Amino acid sequence: MEIVRFLDIAATSAAVAATSGRKAKIELLAGALRRLDPGEIVPGAAYLAGELRQRQTGVGYASLRDRPEPATEATLTVSAVDAAIADISAVSGAGSQARRKQLLGALFSAATAPEQLLLVGLFGGELRQGAQAGLLAEAIAAAAEVPATTVRRALLLAGDLKIVAEAALTGGAPALAQIHLRVGTPLSPMLASSAPDVAAALLATGTPAIVDTKLDGIRIQVHRSGDEVAVFTRSLDDVTARLPEVVAQVRALPVREVILDGEAMLLDASGRPRPFQETSSRAATRGARATTRRTSRASGAAPDSAASAAATSPAAAASPAAATSAASAVSGGDAAATGLRPYFFDLLHLDGADLLDEPGRVRWAALAETVPAVATVGRSAADTEEEAAAAFAAALAAGQEGVVIKDPEAPYDVGRRGSAWVKVKPRHTLDLVVLAVEWGHGRRHGWLSNLHLGARDPETGGFVMLGKTFKGLTDELLRWQTERFQQLAVADNGWGVTVRPEQVVEIAFDGVQTSPRYPGGVALRFARVLRYRDDKPAAEADTIDAVRAIGAGHSAPPA
């Protein structure tokens, strides 16, 4: 098998982006996978998936702006590119910025124009070529000549397409059969679909349903084997060393082996959640994605004493007063302790028994017998819309994001987003003004894509930037806004255009968080485009005061 050129991967990526048919995309991807040498499968599959094998490279957008002229002849191989990026990722210490720039420049100098385009998309994380995990799973199955269901199951359990591709292409179905639930190896979490209200959610799940409080924290998956504990994020990053409180609490459980699914968050003294970015910063990843057992004995790290005691002390049991307070929506117990706390809502493995395929009611009964109520999410049964609405109101009153309504008969559908779990959150919208737009990458190359959003400042008459988004943009909107913002452009630096602040856009978002990055001190969480407001002038856009009021939990003042 001959060594595959990086240019071949770039050509396949471009062809997949330009192809609309699902079957044709699969054939293109399968053909590229078949040509990979065994030593190239892991990086090659990653590139086809639009990602890098190395999770942290230290390369930001600014480093990609001033690129050297592309090479005229293709010399790079998949292995050579992987080695170069590995070298870039390993740079640290004094002089690291200059060294990383030197290595990045050498890689781009050796790359042709199509290869440079692919590298920019990979480093920037915006390679939108339409090759989602499900499509790649089918391509792997076609390339390895194994059933697609076998590949999908392995992918869901492994949580890493690269590992599955390597197993399928080198060992076929027998190798894939060796990929199973293992304590210490994270698996893709079950996800929830969305509904606009509890009534729509109940239509999806049916009744009776279970209503869980949706916490304003970070998703965690915790594995324990003996005294060894590992904590993983939703993206399967190992954050064990950063969450000693979680490690201590799970190690205190009366079990030998367990895999738990839940969330972690910081609380204030009253038991209400701290701002999301404070919790998120505590768990910020500092390393590669975990694909093998990575457990920890906490290395002597001291857990938060209040949090640890609250999780294990009988005195932390819920009192009648606590049960009726707003904070009781957090868990089944007293939430008065401060510090980072885990709250679990599912149990996937217990002392040698896999529970993935058991109905939720069985898993949750095992959870209730294993984990103290103080360390579980608030959970109630709902036979009617009124009961679900009451739980939703209680969750919001406690400062949480909303609720997740669940079918108690559904198994744990690893890595899937279906109708068995449906989340309901209040949706905020604002009419904001576009201040600048960045040129897109990958599938969006040649289109103006990432919007810089601003709120009106009534004191100065100007606009205050709140963040960026490229979410919610259809191809039709991309075409329209590319033409529109070129008409409004006052400057184009090749990376993006600055525009006259005239175009109003309606933005949906999940909340407001403090941010030292932006001049107004606040930023939008999970912003996405709903529609453009040609009926509204910029002078009537929402104000920065309205944004701050939402962040403070008050009704927004009139624009």
pLDDT tens digits, residue range 80-109?
999 999 999 998 889 888 999 999 999 999
553: β partners? none
Among the listed residues 23, 25, 162, 214, the single catalytic one is 214
Average pLDDT over residues 26-50: 92
Active site residue 406: no
Which candidate, 312, 316, 377, places its Cα nearest to that of 346? 377
Q: Give the pLDDT of residue 327.
A: 42
Task: Name 9's Cβ contacts closer than 8 Å, sequence gap at least 6.
Answer: 32, 44, 47, 48, 78, 118
Average pLDDT over residues 229-256: 92
Note whether 477 and 529 are within 8 A (CB): yes
467: β partners? 453
Which candidate, 275, 282, 274, places its Cα nearest to that of 239? 282
Q: What is the dihedral of CA 176, 181, 182, 187, to 10 degrees?
A: 100
In this structure, of 11-20, 151-160, 173-182, the range with the lowest mean pLDDT score is: 151-160
Phi, psi of 116 (to 5 degrees): -60, -40
Does the pLDDT of residue 254 top 60, yes or no? yes
Average pLDDT over residues 300-326: 30
Does the pLDDT of residue 117 top 50, yes or no? yes
Within 93-145, where are the H helices? 96-109, 113-124, 133-144
Note whether 282 and 242 are within 8 A (CB): yes
Residue with tokens 């999780």: 311
**Is residue 190 classed exposed, middle or buried when 0-12, 13-18 and 19+ CB atoms within 10 A define those classes?**
buried
Q: Give the pLDDT of residue 472.
A: 85
List, in order of start, the domains of the chain with CATH numbers.
6-177 (1.10.3260.10), 191-424 (3.30.470.30), 428-551 (2.40.50.140)
Does the pLDDT of residue 128 top 90, yes or no? no
Helix (H) or strand (E) run with residue 195 in it: strand 191-195
How far is residue 158's CA from residue 301's CA, in Å, rounded to a whole number? 29
pLDDT exceeding 70 applies to what percent of the chain?
Answer: 87
Q: Give the pLDDT of residue 310.
A: 33
Q: Which residue has the higher pLDDT, 108 or 517?
A: 108
**What pLDDT, in 10s, does the model give residues 181-200?**
889 988 888 888 888 889 99
